[in-house]
Amino acid sequence: MSSLLSYNLIDSALSQCNPPKHIYIGYSGGVDSHVLLHLCAAHPKLKSNITAVYVHHGLQVAADAWAVHCQKTASLLGVHCQVLRVNAKPTLGESPEEAARNARYLALKTLMNNDDVLLVAQHREDQLETVLLQLLRGAGLQGLSAMPESTAFGLGHLLRPLLNTAKSTIDAYAQTHNLNWVEDPTNQSHDYDRNYLRNAILPLLKQRWPACDKTVARSARHCADAQVFISEMSVPLFLTVFNRDDQTLAISQLKSYSEHEQILIIRHWFQYLKLKMPSQAFVKRVRSELLNARLDSDPIIARRHYCVRRYRDKLYCLLSSLTLPFESVSWPKDSLSLTLSNQEILSCEPSSAGINRSLWQQAIVTVSVRQGGEKIRLTGRSGHHTLKKLFQEADIPTWERENLPLIYLDGQLAAVADLWISADFYSVQPDNCLKIGLQSSF
């Protein structure tokens, strides 16, 4: 066995996390993943704890044959093989490459339990391609850090044990061990940016700079180190302006920092929310159009899956689904929860104070959006109050007001989401009341 590709690479990668309960290996049938699988299957301490996973994207005519090839190869190596079928069709604004990658990783995450590990076969030349693609897209430090050797993945960990290994070393291992792999014909197509870079550009670069994969990978590690440092510096700044209850940023506090500090905080906010890092232009718009907007204005900056808005002294980041109205619906009898069309979930739970259980059980319960002009009488307050005034008193953003579910019993307004219960239906009786709950998907 080549000294450059030995068990030590696998052992070194696995040492970066807790001892794995189970090891999954991303296996496409190509030469790189075949070498990784072969290397792991030959490891005397790992073989019984390995599952090769082939993700069937359904994009190639030969995909079924590749799945069979992977199962046969794994069987010859004495390793279990699992086939995952995914829908890799791109959504609006998503490239085919991005759609396939997102579908693949989403499916692989479902396999992971605590302390499970996924090994993938990306190597140093893959890292070179990633850095160059990110550079051409104008990425910052995080993008130029490219792929990490180790990262949290679902409930487990994702490791790239070959990331510092040259492609030529992997190919030499495959030849030495007479491995049989499949070739994806689309790898030769220049329709995809990565393929064009790999097939047309990198050969020219390597003629001039033979070690460019090694040197660019080193630059990626420098960027990753710098990004870690910056992230650590951002945390204390971020925490001074962040409200955990509603995941907002305090505008007045944010504006007390310098321009560069504001940018760090906003970017850290997106990282905290697990959203795709925004472009420099987007962050600039947040600063110019939202931070400096009039207090009585309601500006909004939208992206494909979310938008950023301000209300009074707060910045909000909202998923697109949460700004959509839901459809009016009846609450089924004997059901303790109701999922609205915007994916928010209403619930009614036993309580010592709330809506009288008997009134609830005898009534036809419906849920609808505001029409305007609704009023409600509250316990402990005289007269009826418009919802508009109550929303203003409670400091509820304007866009939330339109989407808050109103709960009616036999056509009479009984509750406003989980905020208020009408005095006409409110009761205090041990174990004979229901408390309304509202759970958001974000």
Domain boundaries, the chain: 7-208, 221-322, 329-439
Which residues are registered as beta bridge partners of 368? 406
Cα separation, 134 vs 279, in Å, equals 12
Tokens at 129, concatenated: 């391609």
**Which among 290, 272, 436 has a CA at the least distance from the CA of 350?**
436
Average pLDDT over residues 177-203: 88
Do 409 and 365 touch, CB atoms closer than 8 A?
yes
- Per the CB < 8 A criterion, the answer to whether 24 and 107 are in contact is no
pLDDT of residue 322: 53
Quote the tokens at residue 363. Answer: 């009534």
Return the pLDDT at 378.
93
* 142: enclosing H helix or E strand: helix 141-144
357 in Cβ contact with 432 (< 8 Å): yes
Pick the CATH number of 221-322 from 3.90.1720.10, 1.10.3720.10, 1.20.59.20, 3.40.50.300: 1.20.59.20
The pLDDT-based confidence of 241 (bands split at 50, 70, 90) is very high
Please give the pLDDT value at position 1. 40
Residue 182: both structure tokens together: 């499949």
* Percent helix, percent strand, percent coil in the chain, to nearest 5: 40, 25, 35
Identify the three-state secondary structure at position 420: strand
Q: Is the pLDDT of residue 3 over 50?
A: no
**What are 298-315's pLDDT values in tens digits?**
788 887 778 898 888 899
Q: What is the pLDDT of residue 319?
A: 76
Quote the CA–CA distance of 349 and 169 in Å, as a whole number.
Answer: 61
Class in CATH terms, 7-208: alpha beta
Mean pLDDT of 252-273: 93
pLDDT digits 0-9 by tens, 108-147 = 999 999 999 999 999 999 999 999 999 998 888 888 999 9
Please report the pLDDT score of residue 297 as a whole number.
Answer: 74
Let me know how long the chain is: 442
Centre a 10 Å sphere on the Cβ of residue 260 and count the other Cβ atoms it contains.
Answer: 8
160 SS3 class? coil
